[in-house]
């Protein structure tokens, strides 16, 4: 499951004239005026550049308004390239409200060309120039507008809100899991709710292990980054360099590691009819996933489009194994989990006898015994594989994921490439029947939010969204 929460690096232009509308300064459309401070002028310049009719306007804006460290860690050319997709969707932006303002941050509510509300957070360097370090964008659901723009709160009020919200959600059977919120190495909130096992009425504990879903892709990405920094592979290397016998020889020749990471490879998913018809206990190793997708034709010419690809991350896991000379599961345990202090994290096998693991519960599928009512809650044992993979399905605790976040912030797992890949706040989510997890990282402020749930999506995502809205309102 993917979440639209993007560290925006200010990209290319979209032809505004296609709409047949004359261009106005965006902040004047609804009489909202961005403050005429040094920082406010930079923000107004961003919206003007976005709504201009040529790429050069944004290019100039970036060079004049981003601070030097930001431009060094992520050059303008790559910012423009990465941002094209977002610009193509938004078309134009209309600022509508100043949500909050401080010495180093301003938050603005804006509306795009399809009337989708977006929250823009502009972070600034210290000093007189006040140049921009990052621009963050989050989609805003209509029901979130009140929480997004309400009065400021303090940390004590934040914790009280979270506690009440989670207690009510649990009473209404809308949440079951564990939540951790931390600022740096200080844990502000850490509570367990609901049942780890409904069959045995066993409660979730603070250290209960949950299925992470696709969050494991993040560990695979870091493994590739480590091998890249060691000079053992290049992002432009093809699949065929490491897996010469890969079934689709066109993909082996054309698809690069960079395209696998960015999901622009044209390789599809392994979930489908073949997967559904295969006994899940037969799926234990990365190679076991290949028959579900590796013989399929590419969905598009590599690099020409983007499609979410679990298959691509299976291949990345196999490349990690081939390059390192270690089993993938062993590699991430030795080079990611152990250095980060993640002693309760791993790819548990479904039939292993392991204590303190939450069972997953889903409404997905029919129950013939009650007349095909698909609202009946069921254990997800028949939908998950015998063992997860480099694409997802490992297990962890909120404490371990918090330790992982601190390791990222402290640069323990990656060197310079980590500074580029984790330059700003990012959100990672995983979801499948009976599985939902979210990990929100903020290397800039040191804030970390972990929500692990043993129910269907968006159980954890909804909780995380609400908490993030309140965190933004802190005094």
Domains 155-212+351-384+394-471 and 218-328 share a fold: yes
Q: Which 8-state DSSP code applies to residue 392?
A: B
Q: Structure pTM?
A: 0.80
CATH superfamily of 155-212+351-384+394-471: DD-peptidase/beta-lactamase superfamily (3.40.710.10)
User: How many CA atoms within 13 Å lie on the side-chain side of 156?
Assistant: 0
- For residues 188 and 182, the answer to whether their CB atoms sit within 8 Å is yes
Domain definitions of the chain by residue range: 5-149, 155-212+351-384+394-471, 218-328
| Residues in the chain, overall count | 475
**Residue-level pLDDT, tens digit, the chain, 475 residues:** 333 333 333 332 222 222 222 223 333 345 688 998 999 999 999 999 999 868 899 999 999 999 988 888 778 887 887 777 778 888 899 999 998 888 888 999 999 998 899 999 999 998 778 899 988 888 888 878 888 878 889 999 999 999 999 999 999 999 999 999 999 999 999 999 999 999 999 999 999 999 999 999 999 999 999 999 999 999 999 999 999 999 999 999 999 999 999 999 999 898 888 888 898 888 999 999 999 999 999 999 999 998 999 999 999 999 999 999 999 999 999 999 999 999 999 999 988 888 999 999 999 754 444 444 456 899 999 989 989 999 999 999 999 999 999 999 999 999 999 998 998 889 999 999 999 999 999 998 899 999 999 999 999 999 999 999 999 889 8
- The dihedrals phi and psi of 463, each to the nearest 5 degrees, come to -60, -45
C-alpha span between 450 and 467 (Å, rounded)? 10
- For residues 369 and 375, the answer to whether their CB atoms sit within 8 Å is no
Instruction: Give residues with Cβ within 8 angstroms of 205, minimum separation 6.
Output: 178, 192, 196, 356
CATH class of 5-149: alpha beta
- For residues 454 and 176, the answer to whether their CB atoms sit within 8 Å is yes
In CATH, the number for domain 218-328 is 3.40.710.10
Q: Which 8-state DSSP code applies to residue 70?
A: H
């Amino acid at each position: 499951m993917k979440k639209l929460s993007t560290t925006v690096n200010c990209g290319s232009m979209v032809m505004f004239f296609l709409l047949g509308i004359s261009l106005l300064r965006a902040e004047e459309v609804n009489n909202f005026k961005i403050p005429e401070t040094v920082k406010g002028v930079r923000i107004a310049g961003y919206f003007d550049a976005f709504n201009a009719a040529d790429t050069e306007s944004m290019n100039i804006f970036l060079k004049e308004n981003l601070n030097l460290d930001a431009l060094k860690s992520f050059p303008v050319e790559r910012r423009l390239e990465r941002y094209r997709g977002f610009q193509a969707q938004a078309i134009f932006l209309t600022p509508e409200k100043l949500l909050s303002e401080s010495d180093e941050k301003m938050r603005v509510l804006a509306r795009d060309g399809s009337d989708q509300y977006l929250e823009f957070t502009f972070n600034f360097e210290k000093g007189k120039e006040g140049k921009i370090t990052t621009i963050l964008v989050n989609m805003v659901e209509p029901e979130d507008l009140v929480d997004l723009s309400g009065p400021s709160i303090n940390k004590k009020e934040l914790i009280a809100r979270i506690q009440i919200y989670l207690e009510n959600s649990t009473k209404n059977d809308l949440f079951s899991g564990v939540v951790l919120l931390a600022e740096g190495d200080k844990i502000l909130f850490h509570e367990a709710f609901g049942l780890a096992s409904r069959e045995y009425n066993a409660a979730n504990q603070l250290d209960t292990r949950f299925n992470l879903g696709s969050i494991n892709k993040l560990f695979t990405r870091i493994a590739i980054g480590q091998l890249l920094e060691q000079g053992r592979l290049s992002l432009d290397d093809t699949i065929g360099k490491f897996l010469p016998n890969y079934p689709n020889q066109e993909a082996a020749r054309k698809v690069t590691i960079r395209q696998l990471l960015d999901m622009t490879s044209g390789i599809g998913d392994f979930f489908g009819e073949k997967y559904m018809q295969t006994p899940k206990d037969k799926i234990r190793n990365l190679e076991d996933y290949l028959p579900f997708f590796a013989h399929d034709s590419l969905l598009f010419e590599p690099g020409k489009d983007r499609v979410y690809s679990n298959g691509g991350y299976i291949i990345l896991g196999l490349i990690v194994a081939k390059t390192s000379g270690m089993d993938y599961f062993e590699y991430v345990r030795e080079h990611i989990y152990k250095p980060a202090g993640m002693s309760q994290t791993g790819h548990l096998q479904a039939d292993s006898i392991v204590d303190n693991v939450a069972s997953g519960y889903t409404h997905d599928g029919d129950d013939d015994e009650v007349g095909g009512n698909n609202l009946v809650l069921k254990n997800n044992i028949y939908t998950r594989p015998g063992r997860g993979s480099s694409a997802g399905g490992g297990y962890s605790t909120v404490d371990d994921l918090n330790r992982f976040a601190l390791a990222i912030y402290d640069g323990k797992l990656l060197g310079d490439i980590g500074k580029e890949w984790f330059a700003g706040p990012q959100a990672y989510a995983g979801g499948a029947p009976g599985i939902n997890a979210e990990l929100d990282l903020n290397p800039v402020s040191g804030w970390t939010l972990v929500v692990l749930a043993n129910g269907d999506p968006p159980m954890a995502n909804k909780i995380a969204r609400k908490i993030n809205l309140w965190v933004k309102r802190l005094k």
